[in-house]
Amino acid sequence: MNIALKTAIASVVAALAVPASAETLRWASAGDALTLDPHSQNEGQTHTIRHQMYEALIIRDVTGAFEPALATEWGPNPDDPNVWVFKLREGVKFHDGADFTAEDVVFSFERAKTPTSDMKELLNSIVEVRAVDDYTVEMVTDGPNPILDANLTDLFIMDKDWTEANDTVKVQDFEGGEITFATTNVNGTGAYKLVSREPDVKTVMTRNEEYWGRDQFPMAFSEIVHTPIQNAATRVAALLSGEINFLQDVPVQDLDRVASADGLVVKTGPQNRVIFFGMNQGADDLEADNIDGANPLADVRVRQAMSMAINRDAIMKVVMRGQSQPAGMIAPPFVNGWTAEMDGESSTDVEGAKALLAEAGYGDGFSIRLDCPNDRYINDEAICQAAVGMLGQIGITVNLDAIPKAQHFPKITDGKTDFYMLGWGVPTYDSEYIFNFLVHGREDSIGTWNGTGFDNDDLDAKILSLASNTDLDSRNADIAAIWRVVQDEQLYIPIHHQVINWAMAGNVGIEVDPENQPMIKHAPLN
């Protein structure tokens, strides 16, 4: 073992040092939560950490079915389809002992709709949230919304009084570098309480013995210690040595070695997530290319050529070791609107790509920067490196800039990247979620992750209409029509559907979740 790796492992061991306990879940993943503020940053791993401490009104179980959380009943009012009624769970306490009531729900939704919130796209159809009594909430929409409940599974409820008392009513401006009390402190209703938080180092949580579901769920672990470990070799070494007993991101190159190790189990399943590249077609000129006064990406032929240069099968076989499914659209198979036909539309044709570039006036190629995370998706930097070589085959010189996700994501949301990697999960299981964030033109409350510069008023209107179209056949026809535009315009370059690989000690009974969100309160000790 080389000295650098020994040093890295020693650092991890120090970070993981906790009192020995058979009931401690020592959990590692490639990246950390970006923030603990429940309405800042709509990002998977960030939600995952917060889900242990905060709760939504409803969640999904490992099968994708709805599961009651802070709401026990919900649905449209039979007398008014523009009003959804939520019956709240009684007797719930926040971690500081305060009572959970409808007032907290109203407050949290109003907070989540504010400009700095990254959750506001999910709530665009809601015009009012009101408390009928302490345990009944009504949500008024701007038309019948058939999938309102699907938008709420990651919308966490805060304690109004606690938030006001700690001067953290305003949602953290993450992109602006703001730090607030809610960034590193939590007062939720969840199964685990925050003990300590060191961003990018360690987060410690302890079991909430007063949790409303204490007798309903196993809640086998008295303590959770989450440690982000970016380096793949170090993550695996920590698992093999027993320093951790649950690894969320098993490197595909180490799957066989981990699976064959005594006392360890590997669990695999399809993830509700697509990995893809975005391209800024909207700018008059690009920042990081060698073409002055023009934007090669504005020409659909260039975008199509770049997609045709990507050999998805090679990435699947070599980079992902078979642990991915090549994609032709940026919707996972879990999602309403996905079709096998569209998902099969991506193809590799190097000579055809060269011809398209020449036809567009870029026969000599051009150079561009690819922005890529190195701690978010499975083998993210390696995928980007492979793409660099593939695009080079058609004359496009790509300069790769791989950085941690905390620095990468603001480049997209702030419009400071022209060519970038992104992965997208769909917790609503409906295409509307993808369109609201990635296809609708960028505005203050919608299209906030659309870094392509694409903006089509007619398409935007069709996207907005999905929230209130209760004729499912008509709605699905509109979804198909929107996808056709996305595909024909080559707004994105789909790469693959991600596969989840979790590894754990044999006594850790955590089941793979398509959202890549371990439901630790559900997990027994085997």
Residues 200-253 have pLDDT tens digits of: 999 999 999 999 999 999 999 999 999 999 999 999 999 999 999 999 989 999
Which DSSP state fits 43? -
Closest by CA position to 174, among listed 46, 30, 48: 46
**Contacts of residue 14, Cβ cutoff 8 Å, sequence gap at least 6:** none
Residue with tokens 């906790």: 18
Mean pLDDT of 368-379: 96
281 & 166 share domain: no
User: Could you tell me the end-to-end alpha-carbon distance of the chain, in angstroms, rounded to an integer?
Assistant: 33
pLDDT at 197 exceeding the cut of 90: yes
Q: Give 407's pLDDT tier (boundaries 50, 70, 90).
A: very high
Q: What is the mean pLDDT of the chain?
A: 94
- Asked whether residue 31 is domain-assigned, the answer is no
Residue with tokens 């209130």: 468
Count of the separate structural domains present in the chain: 2
Residues 4-31 have pLDDT tens digits of: 444 444 454 444 444 334 599 999 999 9
Question: H or E stretch including 166?
Answer: none
C-alpha torsion angle, residues 105, 107, 112, 113 (rounded to 10): 110
User: What integer pLDDT is reported at residue 20 of this predicted model?
Assistant: 37
User: What integer pLDDT is reported at residue 64 of this predicted model?
Assistant: 87
Structure token digits, residue 273: 């997530």
The span from the CA of 176 to the CA of 111, in Å, is 18
Q: Give 283's pLDDT tier (boundaries 50, 70, 90).
A: very high
468, 474 contact by CB (below 8 A): no
154 & 297 share domain: no
136 & 283 share domain: no
Residues 61-108 have pLDDT tens digits of: 988 899 999 999 999 999 999 999 999 999 999 999 999 999 999 999
- Asked whether residue 409 is domain-assigned, the answer is yes
Among 173, 206, 231, give the residue marking a domain's end: 173
User: What integer pLDDT is reported at residue 1 of this predicted model?
Assistant: 45
274 & 167 share domain: no
Closest by CA position to 437, among listed 276, 245, 230: 276
pLDDT at 280 exceeding the cut of 80: yes
User: What integer pLDDT is reported at residue 161 of this predicted model?
Assistant: 98
Q: Domain holding 128: CATH number?
A: 3.90.76.10
More confident call, 2 vs 103: 103
**Distances from the Cα of 93 to the Cα of 157, 159, 190, 253, angstroms:** 12, 10, 9, 45
In terms of Cβ atoms closer than 10 Å to its own Cβ (0-12, 13-18, 19+), residue 485 is middle
User: What integer pLDDT is reported at residue 63 of this predicted model?
Assistant: 86
468 & 357 share domain: yes
Compute how many other C-beta atoms are within 10 angstroms of the C-beta atom of residue 242: 11
- Asked whether residue 456 is domain-assigned, the answer is yes
Cα 168 versus chain centre, distance: 24
Q: Domain holding 297: CATH number?
A: 3.10.105.10
Residues 311-343 have pLDDT tens digits of: 999 999 999 999 999 999 999 999 999 999 999
- Asked whether residue 45 is domain-assigned, the answer is no
Question: What's phi and psi for 494, nearest 5 deg?
Answer: -65, 140
Residues 287-304 have pLDDT tens digits of: 889 999 999 999 999 999
- Asked whether residue 389 is domain-assigned, the answer is yes
167 & 275 share domain: no
Residues 34-69 have pLDDT tens digits of: 999 999 999 999 999 999 999 999 999 988 899 999
Domain that holds residue 329: 270-499
- Asked whether residue 451 is domain-assigned, the answer is yes
349 & 491 share domain: yes
167 & 287 share domain: no
Question: Three-state SS string across 63-117, please?
Answer: CCCEEECCEEEEEEECCEEEEEEEEECCCCECCCCCECCHHHHHHHHHHHCCCCC
What single letter denotes the amino acid at residue 122? L
168 & 275 share domain: no
The span from the CA of 485 to the CA of 62, in Å, is 32
- Asked whether residue 521 is domain-assigned, the answer is no
What single letter denotes the amino acid at residue 512? V
- Asked whether residue 196 is domain-assigned, the answer is no
The span from the CA of 274 to the CA of 249, in Å, is 16
Residues 451-488 have pLDDT tens digits of: 999 999 999 999 999 999 999 999 999 999 999 999 99
User: What integer pLDDT is reported at residue 12 of this predicted model?
Assistant: 47
Among 173, 193, 222, give the residue marking a domain's end: 173
The span from the CA of 200 to the CA of 21, in Å, is 23
167 & 278 share domain: no
374 & 495 share domain: yes
154 & 279 share domain: no
Among 173, 197, 221, give the residue marking a domain's end: 173
Compute how many other C-beta atoms are within 10 angstroms of the C-beta atom of residue 503: 27
Mean pLDDT of 493-520: 95
The span from the CA of 105 to the CA of 109, in Å, is 6
User: What integer pLDDT is reported at residue 325 of this predicted model?
Assistant: 97
